[in-house]
Amino acid sequence: MRSKASVDYDKGDFLASDGTDIVLGTSSSTNIVGICDTDKPSTDATNGRIKVFVPKNKSATLEASTTGTFTAALEGRRVDLSDETVVAVTASTYKVLEVVKCLASNLGEFQILDPIT
């Protein structure tokens, strides 16, 4: 997938699409497309290709760090990103991820949801 120029991509980052390129996930992302599998420094001024892990089916899950008070009571809730590496478990405007399981007070198991249309 095509990356933005001069953006620092790291393995494990949540990625979204801006309609043309793959961009880092943000707190206002509505279309998470996968997880970055490429390290590309911000000094790279090209719109090169990067590898992206894309879930093969809806039941695929991933682990991610969280912000906010995270407990098992949030399992099943649809939540947003805080940034490209962290899930905001108390934010639910865009509902891009579903909480599958609380693993610790700052770590959870999540599913990527379909983009809001």
Read off the tokens for 88. Answer: 């905001």
> Residue 4 corresponds to which amino acid?
K
Q: How far apart are CA 44 and CA 46, in angstroms?
A: 6
Read off the tokens for 2. Answer: 């095509």
For the chain, the domains span 14-53, 62-112
User: What are 94-106's pLDDT values in tens digits?
Assistant: 999 999 999 999 9
What's the pTM value of the predicted model, to 2 decimals? 0.90
User: What are 35-44's pLDDT values in tens digits?
Assistant: 999 999 999 8
Residue 9: pLDDT over 80 = yes
Question: Which CA distances in Å does 87 have to 5, 41, 53, 81, 111?
Answer: 25, 23, 18, 4, 11
Which stretch, 31-35, 71-75, 113-117, has highest mean pLDDT? Answer: 71-75
Residue 117: pLDDT over 60 = no
